[in-house]
Chain A
Amino acid sequence: MTVLATSRRHKRLDLLQRVVLSLTLLTTIVICVPVVIVSAYVISHGASAISWDFIFSGPVRAGRQGGFFPVIILTMYALLLVIAFAVPVGVLCAVYLAEYARPGRLLRLINLTIINLAGVPSIVYGLFGAALFFDVIHTKQALWVASATLAMQALAIIITSSREALLAVPRGIREGSLALGVSKLHTTFFIALPQAFPGIITGSLLAISRAAGETAPILVVGAIAASNVSLAPTAVVGERPQMLSYELYYRITEGLGLADERKWGLALVLLAIVLVFNMSALALRIKIQSGVRRN
């Protein structure tokens, strides 16, 4: 028997390798399939409802005709608010936890708590938000309350992922900067943060896209269906909150004679928004990384 002839053991290992490879391929397909099916279903049922009017004009006859522009635009405002609040606060918090906090039991406890917060069900956040803003602070109902509640949920994810991104920055370049006599502040903001940027952006955008899809908090805070609401940005402060996710929920459950395809259309719009956020996260990350390489 020559050296090159495969032994029985070899053949067994080879078979095992192939089985495992097939299994992993299978699971990948299995995971992708529902995503594809759901997307295809939503697109096929809702595409017919999508028109210029659907997106850009206001509701007519309680939503049976016209569009859902108010909800869409106010959803955008709300998400913008979430970004404006959660991202800076979250990143700064992550900076403190990763760079400045003294290591020890307390720090470990804080980190653990924040990780746990990311997993708290969104309805609990809704309850907390309602209690905090209505019962304790006594604000009038407004869109920004919904944003704030969603932001709290997004915060936990943003802090955790930003912290991870900062901790992943190699110690070498930090030391290199400090050894030049550059202060820790400058080192953090001009070396560590830029290096952690891709991770921070990705984490933030994923957190935001999740906020875009949350219904429960909005429910609790008290969203209403779109009608007679001003489109100006000041509506954010004054009016009752409107969110796409809630709108969809309302429409589905109201049982009024709304054409099915219009409900699917709403779902499609929501899906599209989430998709846009995720794609942006990916694109931004790629751009930053190649920008870093080029620079």
Chain B
Amino acid sequence: MTETTSPEQLAASAPAHLPATASAGAPYRAAGPAETSPVVLRLERVGVKYGHRSAVDNVCMDIYKNRITALIGPSGCGKSSLLRCLNRMNDLIPEAAVSGRIYLDGVDINSDAVDPVQVRRHVGMVFQKPNPFPMSVKDNIAFGPKRLGLGSRGRINEIVEGALRAATLWEEVADKLDQPGTALSGGQQQRLCIARVLAVNPEIILMDEPCSSLDPIATLKIEDLMRELVREYTIVIVTHNMQQAARVSDYTAFMLASEHGLHGQVIEYGATKEIFTNPRDKRTEDYITGRFG
């Protein structure tokens, strides 16, 4: 099968009548001249190693503000590992080592000088399996603001309501605020987790396969929610559901690892419409049309 390609090889393999996508080491410039949104996250040569195993290699890409960016690829290609770099959650894994630079609004969040806890206030995360705290709905949402000292009790009540409204959950739980968070349905729990993240007002929201444990209706509700939220936030989503990536995202990055699940790289990154109607790399086309993975 395919061996890993460096950006140089990738550029050389692009069809002749299209401009080369990247030169050696330079970031992917996915945006055409029409993209007005600024770059909010810039990844330069980002890599993740677990012990001696390299899971992600040399990823360069830009994430644009107020856009939904999707990471797709077969299992084990490193997309979750890459996502977890963006809020330094890989720090929690002792044998994980993250290399490269990740610029959030110009500051390299991967440097030792930056406190990971601070990073996570600006970059929130929603997980694959909803994980409400064993507390009431209200306490779940209020937990973040309270612990981070975001205001008095009155202010926190406002924040709770605001977050629940933003997550389109308010109508459904307004009379159940004191019930345990775990008593809600799966889809509601996931929206609760989203509201929880919104309550601390991050800039970027990361979502790691947020709908994979939900039924189709709940999935669609969350997708609608994402399109609402992206007006104020920037969203990066990892999904193995290609139709979801096609429905929901503005930009899509296709990742692929080598045969042994090593050296995951971004093979192609561009506007979702282009990726799904006319991808440039054959591997992207093969993956999208189901010829492998």
Contact = CB atoms under 8 A, between A and B. Distances in A.
B124 A180 contact: yes
Contacts, number: 80
Main secondary structure of the interface of A (DSSP, over half): helix
What size tier do the contact residues of chain A reach? 20 to 34
A96 interface: no
Contact of A179 (B125, B129, B178): B125
A103 interface: yes
Interface string B142-177: 011001100000000000000000000000000000
Nearest to B146: A190
B69 to A, nearest CB: 18
Interface residues of B, number: 32
A68 B202 CA distance: 65
B142 to A, nearest CB: 11
Nearest to A195: B134
A61 B196 CA distance: 69
Nearest to A180: B144
A176 B120 contact: no
Interface string A260-295: 000000000000000000000000000000001111
B117 interface: yes
A191 B124 CA distance: 18
A170 B131 contact: yes
A190 B133 CA distance: 10
Contacts of A102: 94
10 contacts: A173-B131, A177-B143, A179-B127, A180-B148, A181-B119, A181-B124, A183-B117, A183-B147, A292-B135, A295-B135
Given A176-B196, A295-B136, A295-B139, A182 B148 contact: yes
Nearest to B134: A292
Given A173-B134, A191-B133, A295-B135, A179 B197 contact: yes
Interface string A189-228: 0110011000000000000000000000000000000000
B180 A176 contact: no
